[in-house]
Chains A and B, each alone.
Chain A
Amino acid sequence: MSECRGKGGVLINRNLVVNFSFDGRSYSGFAGDTLASALLANGVHLLGRSFKYHRPRGLLAAGSEEPNALVTVVRGNEARSVPNLRATQVEIYAGLVAHSQNRWPSLGFDVGAVNDWLSPLFPAGFYYKTFMWPRFAWHRWYEPRIRAAAGLGRAPGGPDPDSYAQCYAHCDVLVVGAGAGGIAAALAAAGSGARVILCDENGALGGSLLDERANSQGGSDAAIWLRTALTQLAALPNLTLLPRTTAFGYFPHNMLGLCERITDHLATPAAGVPRERLWQVRAREVVLATGAIERPLVFPGNDRPGVMLASAARTYLHRYGVRVGSRVVVLAGCDAAYGVALDLHAGGIGIEAIADVRTGAHLVAPAAIAAARAEKIRVVERATVLGTSGRLRVNSVSLGVVAADGSVSNAGTLPCDALLMSGGFTPSVHLHSQSRGQLQWQADAGVFVPAAAAENERSVGAARGLEGLQQALEDGTQAGLTAAKACGLTPHAYSARIAVQEYSTRGAPGALAQPGARTPAKAFVDWQNDVTTRDLQLAMREGFYSIEHIKRYTTTGMATDQGKTSGLNALAIIAGSSARQVPEVGLTTFRMPYTPVSFGILAGYDRGDQFDPVRRTPMHACAENLGAVFEDVGMWKRAWYFPQRGEDMHQAVARECRAVRTGCGMFDASTLGKIEVVGPGAVEFMNRLYVNSWNGLAVGRSRYGVLLRDDGFVYDDGVVARLADERFHVTTTTGGAARVLGMMEDYRQTEWTDLKVWLTSTTEQWAVIAVQGPRAREVIAPLIEGCDLSAAALPHMAVARGTICGAPMLLFRVSFTGELGFEINVPADYGAAIWEAVRAAGQKYDIVPYGTEAMHVLRAEKGYIIVGQETDGTCTPDDVGLSWAIGKSKPDFVGKRSLSRPAMLASGRKQLVGLLTADPHVLLDEGAQVTATAGQVAPMKLIGHVTSSYRSEALGRSIALAMVVDGRARQGQTLYVPMPGGDLPVQVTAPVFYDPQGARLNG
């Protein structure tokens, strides 16, 4: 390893060498390194290319705010690649493979960098002003090229083989951030007996406690305190510690989303371990100890590799023992930069100079300057930066000095291999703001800090603008105790102390002073999106005044770092250029997630078969054994048809239909929704809800019920049986079961609280076997006891109880085929056995199992509608021929008033009819349209559409149902179905094609 690795480094283990590759070259680092620290240790400063100008970029930061060093990590194959990871957050492991992005052919020589030369043509918003000629060219020429140039990394190359977990957790106190403030808060709260969750986005806990210079004993006060505190934390049974876990979103009622990264840092994850886990934490109290992010300085050439945040250099030194350079210039926009310079100096790094860029004398702490000068470090006061040089790494910086009148004079050029900058620290108020907490401008510190909270939440330490570890400890402690108290616990006294040298982190956001109004070199505000001060000024020149407009026009703050380092500088520059104060410019809304979150954890377990529950009927296996093909209906798997050897769907359905019309068929109807409506108010409830009248329905009888929405349109239908005076067995469509129950509960709980009625879904309690056909009675009679099946005792629409093969049974004499029919309801567990018993009993009558397709054909032959196929939410009962069902004397029912609206009564409504094609072999397309005259061209005058269309085995021809304007009056007319190949003439008929008298029902 090179001379870039110095002594120290509290997070690395020098005994464990880890080999990895970057852009195809092998490197080695130590266990505990991030990809960023390991590459720096190898002297690699060039890590990426910018989005727009493809400028060479190195590390700006050391944490999650990094905008430049985005890499793709590939684990094994392209399906396991992840683009756009921050190198500062990637923990290295043996065999890690990482690539740089957005460059061709190589990171060092990128053809895309031509954009930088042409950048005068590409200011903010240039794409709104050009690429408009000729008019088709945007889509065909320009856009494909712009798209190819845009984007950062590549999307993964195949289905993700890894799994993701999700869990819920409740706690008294959730502490976000395990730095000084967060750990103190967690210890104080947990010590008071609170159930605490403490999470931190990093693998190593401690935050800036890890960034303190070691004393002569090889540790720092901060490190010693941290070690003790972590031991205490680990010993607390009521505390859950979640490292590598980012609190990414703050949702109403103190619900936070946490993303725990479980395996990405491991060389060989154990099989079956999820890659990441989503925690949805509901906390009584939340403590936000999210710290602060250092602001870069804005000056020409501030984006060269080697130009870095001062605190990042300190982090690389103390956590990883990595020296960011050997000749360093520090640009001090706040006192803390002096602390960094002194630390680096003590670490053996040459400090060329500290250039203090503050021009307000009151801002500068003389003690800091004195401390630097005591170490013989040159300090340039009232400095500014005129430019930098170095193609792939900074090699010099040109300084200027700002006179009292604001004029800038040249102060010479300093050679350097690292240029560190600190513009002060911006509190991380993201989560507080996401929770709709208010922010307050703190003018003297030049930052927004949390004000009134909207949730049970408090920010502590640097996250609310406090400075230094000791303040953070005290603030965190207090917050932890307060949170515990708010949870009804007795605060248990706790105090913590660390003695460290503290420097102020207060600076002034904005750009550094420049000699002229315009300079040729770019001064970047948003590194990743290549937004410069000139872009911001251009936006204002073009009349964009609101910060929201400027953001969208220039894209500042819209990169993958979401403005973590750029936001406040952009605001200050905009304010300065438009004679406004920063609060007048305002803030854009903080949105989740704090840092990007993989789709995988949000999708979680809902994948493959678990994407949606699969509902199978009790007879599913029976149908499978019979070779059924299934269709998805809602969540249900329904047997669609039962092909026998060599049959296609058409042949199978024809055979199934034939059997029902001539002998007997059996059908699994278990998926129909079933709701028990019970109680003294049951009759009135049903009267108010369904269009039918239920008063006259005798116990042991059933009736076809129709349910409307309040707008008067058909919502659901089904047979309703009265099992007792105060007990109805309501059936619904398969897809409508949950919706109808929801609607019933809505009315019961909000509108008709006067009714004593209870609703219970019984869909899955019953297995339902429909036995249909002229031989149906003969098939089931031998199996049934305690129930007279004769037509006299059990007429059409009668319901009886009894037993079948000894199992309790509810028997419906109903038919959806037009044939003599029974629906045998047995408790679900008996379903399969009874199915097999019926099938065995039916063998001598050649019983045939039939599926949903045959069921559709049979019911269409009879003109029975299917809600959702004949109806589409715009049909009244009368439209589909069901006005007979309406209880005429009822005072009210859901939808009754709507049915009297003018348009519901007017002529010109679509009505259910039958259609017969002139050629009986022609099968109409379902959904095909209907016209009154032939030969129309678009836009046509459409008068209807085909809702159902089948080959009818019974009629030996095709049949169709359709909704046609004034259809009932058109019977006998010829209409047309316009198809791409020409009009198909059709004759309008009644919708009942088979046994219109219904004689067969009563067999």
Chain B
Amino acid sequence: MQRFSAWSLLKQAFGSHGGWQPQWRRATPKPAYDAIVVGGGGHGLGTAYYLAAEHGLRNIALLEKSWIGGGNTGRNTTILRSNYLFDESARLYDHSLKMWRDLSQVLNYNVMYSPRGVLMLAHSVHDVQVLKRHIHANRCNGVDNEWLSPAEAKAFCPPLNIERNIRYPVMGGALQRRGGTARHDAVAWGYARAADALGVDIIENCEVTGIRRDAGGAIQGVETSLGYIASRKVGVVAAGNSSVVMGMAGVRLPLESFPLQALVSEPVKPVMPCVVMSNSIHAYVSQSDKGELVIGAGTDAYTSYTQRGALHVNMHTLAAICELFPAFRRMRMLRNWGGIVDVSPDRSPIIAKTAVPGLYVNCGWGTGGFKATPGSAHLFAWTMAHDEPHPINAPFTIERFREGLLIDEAAAAAVAH
């Protein structure tokens, strides 16, 4: 792998940058692999990388029906945090957040991890109770999260409106200082480049159309738009299309796919120093390095596979943003887009073996998968390599929905009384 550094950049500058190599090869499929990862988003690319880097597999293919990093990896609002309520979730997301810290160096690719702080706002007595429960649980789990009064929140995020005369005044907030943002495309490309350097074949424009199983039911390989590819180990990481791919192996997933929208403003000079989220009035916002305000809207009410959503969803979100940041009312939306999120009944992911020998699945990340990319990929690779889950992802089975062992993070947002 051609090393990236300030020095290599300088050296190439003298050669008009003519000496740079492809970051990953445009591979064509071989007849058979030791392991196949289906889905070239961040989680899938990372899985292929860790299979090669940590588990010694070399003969690995990653199949992507379109271009890598083009699904939710390239469509999210890049927020990182780990202040989840339940012990299982806190362990999972904190495993990931710790990996973000060193990811640029590990991959030799600047993923721009920026721990600028994630501030979650409370607007009612009930919100305060919920966020304080998070803070207590996080502290006991070794996850940083602290309570800020409205004045402290304002000091941390100066454009925030803490006036008492707004409809839902800010009653305080929970701040995770290690939370922040990262550059989403760089994560996909960084993993692709590092995986490719370890021999992983990254095969774009290769859609899985069927899954072949032997007489005993075990995985034999996958049918694709580029022909049949054999492998006894197949890991499916297909986000919104996970149900479709797993259906080819006869596995039904408890997922619903919804369009989720986001938007950016025109770029302006730095004005938002951190990430601000408000669950109860539905707004989250940060500012990208380029200067755009990056704003997440909600999911549409109806399931769909179309990567666009309804206008009123954005309107609702921007109304909330303008209440919290009234100076942004004259800012302008530059671009809006949608992605398809795979939502599980308890809003927690599935990272698991399946009843089909050799078939593994990593899905159900809903609206919050980006932050988990390194941890999810790391644990899924472990699960595929060992044919058993790592202790951190052991609770995230498919069977939990049948057994009732839910990890219900939606519960965190409970109900008003």
Residue among B26, B289, B314, B326 making CB contact with A543, cutoff 8 Å:
B26
- Given A156-B331, A735-B417, A938-B141, the answer on whether A543 and B185 have CB atoms closer than 8 Å is no
Write the chain B residue with the least CB distance to A255: B311
Query: By the criterion CB–CB under 8 Å, are B271 and A155 in contact?
Result: yes
Complex contact B265–A152 (CB within 8 A): no
> Assuming the A-B contacts A121-B13, A873-B414, are A927 and B403 also in contact, with contact meaning beta carbons closer than 8 angstroms in the complex?
no
Cβ of A272 < 8 Å from any Cβ of B?
no
**In the complex, are the beta carbons of A135 and B101 less than 8 A apart?**
yes
Q: Which of B31-83 contact A (CB under 8 A)?
A: 66-70, 74
**Contact status B25-A543, CB under 8 Å:** yes
Q: Mind listing 26 A-B residue pairs with CB under 8 Å?
A: A129-B109, A133-B6, A147-B287, A155-B328, A158-B327, A541-B17, A562-B334, A589-B337, A593-B334, A596-B265, A599-B330, A603-B323, A611-B168, A632-B124, A711-B406, A712-B404, A716-B415, A866-B417, A867-B417, A925-B132, A927-B132, A927-B136, A931-B140, A940-B141, A942-B140, A942-B141
Least distance between B79 CB and chain A CB atoms (Å): 15
Is A451 part of the binding interface, using a Cβ–Cβ cutoff of 8 Å? no
CA–CA, A612 and B101, complex, Å: 40
Are A926 and B133 in contact, CB atoms less than 8 angstroms apart? yes
In B290-326, which residues have CB < 8 Å from any A CB? 290-291, 307, 310-311, 314-316, 318-323, 326
| Residues of chain B lying within 8 A (CB to CB) of residue A518 | 16, 18
Q: Are A874 and B334 in contact (CB under 8 A)?
A: no
Instruction: Find chain A residues with CB under 8 A from B268 CB.
Output: 83-84, 151-155
Q: Identify 18 new A-B residue pairs, CB closer than 8 A, beyond the known A548-B70, A927-B132.
A: A51-B267, A84-B267, A128-B186, A130-B9, A132-B105, A133-B5, A139-B116, A143-B112, A160-B327, A542-B23, A543-B24, A603-B318, A603-B323, A716-B415, A868-B417, A928-B136, A929-B137, A940-B140
CA distance A121 to B345 in the complex (A): 49
Please report the C-alpha to C-alpha distance between residue A329 and residue B13 in the assembled complex, in whole angstroms.
34
| Of A130, A538, A631, most B-chain CB atoms within 10 Å | A130
Q: In chain A between 586 and 609, which residues have their CB closer than 8 angstroms to a CB of chain B?
A: 589, 591-593, 596-600, 602-604, 606-609
Q: Which residues from A are CB-within-8-Å of B67?
A: 546, 548-549
Number of A-B contacts (CB under 8 A): 356
User: Does B291 contact A138, Cβ atoms closer than 8 Å?
Assistant: no
A936 to B142, CA, bound (A): 11
| Residue of B with least CB distance to A905 | B404
**Is the C-beta of A111 less than 8 angstroms from some C-beta in chain B?**
no
Residues of B within 8 A of A251 (CB): 310-311
Contact A135 B104 (CB under 8 A): yes
Distance between B75 CB and nearest chain A CB, rounded to angstroms: 11
Tell me whether B333 and A280 are in contact (CB under 8 A): no
Which chain B residues lie closer than 8 Å to A606 at the CB level?
A: 315-316, 319
Question: Among A602, A634, A940, which residue has its beta carbon within 8 angstroms of that of B315?
Answer: A602
CB of A776, distance to nearest CB on chain B (Å): 23
Q: A138-B113, A603-B329 are in contact. Are A869 and B417 (CB under 8 A)?
A: yes
CB-based contact B327/A159 at 8 Å: yes
- Contact with B323, one of A151, A255, A591, A607 (Cβ below 8 angstroms): A607
Determine the chain B residues whose CB is within 8 A of the CB of A596 once the complex forms. Answer: 265-266, 332-334
In contact, B327 and A156 (Cβ under 8 angstroms): yes
B416 at the interface (CB under 8 A from A): yes
Cα(A716)–Cα(B417), bound, Å: 9
Nearest CB of B to A794, in Å: 28
Interface of chain A residues 921 through 970 with chain B (CB within 8 A): 925-929, 931, 936, 938-940, 942, 945
Tell which of B129, B137, B140, B337 has the most Cβ of chain A within 10 Å.
B140
Q: Determine if B329 and A980 form an interchain contact, defined as CB atoms under 8 angstroms apart.
A: no
Q: Which of A81, A160, A640, A927 has the most CB of B within 10 A?
A: A927
Which residues of chain A are within 8 angstroms of B270 by Cβ–Cβ distance? Answer: 144, 147-148, 151
- Contact status B290-A150, CB under 8 Å: yes
**A128 & B408 in contact (Cβ 8 Å cutoff):** no
Distance in Å: Cβ of A39 to nearest Cβ of chain B? 21
Q: How many residues of B contact A (CB 8 A)?
A: 117
Cα distance, A607 to B410, chains bound together (Å): 27
* B1 lies within 8 A of chain A by Cβ: no
Asked if B258 lies at the interface with its beta carbon under 8 angstroms from chain A, I say no
Which of B20, B136, B329 makes the CB contact (< 8 A) with A542? B20
Judge if B412 is at the interface, Cβ distance under 8 Å: yes
B contact residues vs A (CB 8 Å cutoff): 4-6, 8-10, 13-14, 16-18, 20-26, 66-70, 74, 87, 91, 101-102, 104-105, 108-110, 112-116, 123-126, 129-130, 132-137, 139-142, 159, 161, 166-168, 180, 183, 185-186, 189-190, 204, 265-271, 281, 287, 289-291, 307, 310-311, 314-316, 318-323, 326-337, 345, 400, 402-406, 408, 410-412, 414-417
Task: Please judge, given known A-B contacts A128-B109, A599-B321, whether A160 and B186 are in contact too, CB under 8 Å.
Answer: no
Known: A129-B8, A927-B134, A939-B142. A543 touches B315 (CB 8 A): no
Query: Is B10 within 8 A of A591, CB to CB?
Result: no
Q: Quick one: given A599-B333, A945-B136, are A280 and B311 in contact (CB under 8 Å)?
A: yes
A544-600 at interface with B (beta carbon < 8 Å): 544-546, 548-549, 552-553, 560, 562, 589, 591-593, 596-600
Identify which of B18, B26, B315 contacts A541 (C-beta below 8 A): B18
Give Cα A672–Cα B21 distance, bound, in whole angstroms.
67
Report the bound CA distance from A160 to B331 in whole Å. Answer: 10
Q: Which of A317-325, A344-352, A662-670, A895-903 contacts B (4 or more CB under 8 A)?
A: A895-903
Partner of B333, one of A132, A602, A736, A926: A602
Q: Give, as a whole number of angstroms, the nearest-CB distance from A975 to chain B.
A: 13
Q: Is A904 an interface residue (CB 8 A)?
A: yes
A420 vs chain B, min Cβ distance (A): 28
Assembled-state Cα–Cα distance A81/B328 (Å): 11
Quick one: CB contact mask for A881-922 with B, threshold 8 Å, 1 for yes?
000000000000000001001111000000000000000000
In the complex, which residue of chain A has the Cβ closest to the Cβ of B412? A872
CB-based contact A152/B404 at 8 Å? no
Determine whether the beta carbon of B403 is less than 8 Å from that of A903: yes
Q: What separation, in Å, do the CA atoms of A980 and B69 have in the docked complex?
A: 42
Q: Is there a chain B Cβ closer than 8 Å to A633's Cβ?
A: yes
Q: How far is the CB of A712 from chain B (nearest CB, A)?
A: 7
Q: Give the residues in chain A near B112, CB-CB below 8 Å.
A: 127, 138, 143
A158-B307 Cα distance, complex, nearest whole Å: 35
Interface centre among A589, A611, A873 (most CB of B within 10 A): A873
B167 touches A542 (CB 8 A): no
Q: Is A620 on the interface with B (CB-CB < 8 A)?
A: no
Residues from chain A with a CB closer than 8 A to the CB of B116 are 139
- CB-defined contacts of B87 to chain A, threshold 8 Å: 939, 942
Select which of A143, A257, A735, A928 is within 8 A of B289 by beta carbon.
A143
Are B126 and A868 in touch, CB under 8 angstroms? yes
Measured in the bound complex, the distance between the Cα atoms of B6 and A925 in whole Å is 51
